[in-house]
Amino acid sequence: MGMTLTEKILSDKYGREVKQGEYILLEVDIALANDITAPIAIEEFYKTRLSKVYNPDQIVLVPDHFVPNKDIRSAMQVKMIREFAKEQGIEKFFELGTMGIEHVLLPEQGIVKSGDVVVGADSHTCTYGALGAFSTGVGSTDIAGVYIMGKAWFKVPEVIDVYVEGKFGKYVSGKDFVLKLISTLGVSGANYKAMEFRGPGIKNISMDSRFTISNMAIEAGGKTGIFPVDEITQTYEEERGIIAEQLSADDDAYYIKQIELKLGDLEPQVAIPFLPSNSKDISEIEKRRVRIDQVVIGSCTNGRMEDLRAAASILKGKKIDKNVRCIIIPGSQQVYKEAVKEGLVDIFVDANCAVSTPTCGPCLGGHMGVLADGEVAISTTNRNFVGRMGHTGSKVYLSSPVVAAASGIKGYISSPENL
3-class secondary structure, 24: strand
pLDDT higher than threshold 90 for residue 209: yes
Average pLDDT value for residue range 310-325: 98
Residue 254 confidence (pLDDT) = 94
Percent of all residues in the chain with a pLDDT value above 70, rounded to a whole number: 100
Sign of CA dihedral 259, 123, 336, 343: positive
Percent of the chain whose pLDDT exceeds 90: 98
Terminal C-alpha separation, the chain: 52
Give the tens place of pLDDT for each residue, 285-311.
999 999 999 999 999 999 999 999 999
Do 358 and 335 form a contact (C-beta atoms < 8 A)? yes
Give this prediction's pTM.
0.96
Q: Read off the DSSP letter of residue 186.
A: -
User: In whole angstroms, what is the distance from residue 194 CA to residue 94 CA?
Assistant: 30
Largest CA distance in the chain: 62
Amino acid at 302: N
Burial annotation 203-236 (CB, 10 A radius, 16+ → b, else e)? eebebbbbbbbbbbbbbbbbbbbbbbbbebbbeb
Residue range 223-244, pLDDT digits in tens: 999 999 999 999 999 999 999 9
Residue 27: other Cβ atoms inside 10 A? 15
Where residue 89 falls among pLDDT bands split at 50, 70, 90? Answer: very high
Distance between CA atoms of residues 244 and 108, nearest Å: 15
Residue 115's pLDDT is: 96
Cα dihedral across residues 20, 25, 26, 32: positive or negative: positive
Give the C-alpha separation, 331 to 9, whole Å.
Answer: 28
Q: What is the mean pLDDT of the chain?
A: 96
Mean pLDDT of 387-410: 97
User: What is the mean pLDDT of the segment spanning 166-170?
Assistant: 96
Domains defined along the chain, listed by start:
5-263 (3.30.499.10), 269-418 (3.30.499.10)
CA distance 235 to 229: 10
pLDDT exceeds cutoff 90 at 345: yes
The pLDDT, as a whole number, for residue 419 is: 87
Task: Give dist(CA 136, CA 398) in Å, integer.
Answer: 23
Helices (H), 48-188: 72-88, 102-108, 140-149, 174-185
User: How many Å separate Cα 191 from the centre of its chain?
Assistant: 18
Residues in the chain: 419
pLDDT (average), residues 50-71? 95
pLDDT value for 1? 79
* Confidence band, pLDDT 50/70/90 cuts, at residue 338: very high
Grouping H, G, I as helix, E, B as strand and the rest as coil, residue 298 is coil
Rounded to whole angstroms, the Cα distance separating 96 from 80 reads: 14
Measured at the CA of 143, the angle between CA 85 and CA 42, to 5 degrees, comes to 45
CA–CA separation, 224 and 6 (whole Å):
9
